[in-house]
Amino acid sequence: MADLSNLGVERTLVLLKPDAVSRGLVGRIVARFEDSALKIVGVKMKQMDAEFTRKHYFDLEERAGSEIYNCTADFMQSGPVIAVAFEGVDAVAKVRKLIGPTFPNEAAPGTIRGDFAHQTKASSEVSGKAVMNLVHASGNSEEAKYEVELWFGSDEQFDYETLAEKLAY
């Protein structure tokens, strides 16, 4: 396999949140990432407990406050999530572009949140419930590295070459 390190190839984490799983949108969402030439290098389903949620969202309480952390933690523990490690050129930025802004009502049509999520920031505040926006994605390269390593051991990440890589590189 060719050395792609100089092309900006990186790994990033996507969590399909409990709302994506319970609504049966997993396949449709994952297909969006694969359609954009990102490859799956790790995947698992997990029920997050309080300890693991704290590790994943280690800085959320500091950044957003305990009310938002608690609301997010409760939501993320309300059902199983599917964690997917994706790899590709500029994977972090590409994933962020594909999912759209945090609040679904601000997400453009064609993005995952714009097409499949419907909650507004205001409705979340009124209901006291977390924003059900289907997916979590690493915010930057450093966060991606931390999150991929948190969710996947080295024996759970795979290196292989896709047909798209063979053709493009």
As annotated, the active-site residues are 136
- pLDDT number for residue 4: 57
Q: How far apart are CA 142 and CA 144, in angstroms?
A: 5
- The predicted-structure confidence for 29-70, as pLDDT tens digits, reads as follows 999 999 999 999 999 999 999 999 999 999 988 888 898 899
Q: Is residue 5 scored above 80 in pLDDT?
A: no
Alpha-carbon distance 63 to 133, whole Å? 19
Architecture per CATH, domain 5-168, reads as 2-Layer Sandwich (3.30)
pLDDT band at 8 (very low <50, low <70, confident <90, very high): confident
Helix residue ranges, H only, 43-140: 50-56, 60-64, 66-76, 91-99, 112-116, 121-127
The larger pLDDT score, comparing residue 13 to residue 67, is at 13
Q: For residue range 102-160, list pLDDT tens digits in order.
A: 999 999 999 999 999 988 888 888 888 888 999 999 999 999 999 999 999 999 999 99
Rg (CA), the chain: 16
Answer whether residue 7 shows pLDDT above 60. Answer: yes
pLDDT band with cut points at 50, 70 and 90 for residue 169: confident
Predicted pLDDT of residue 3: 58
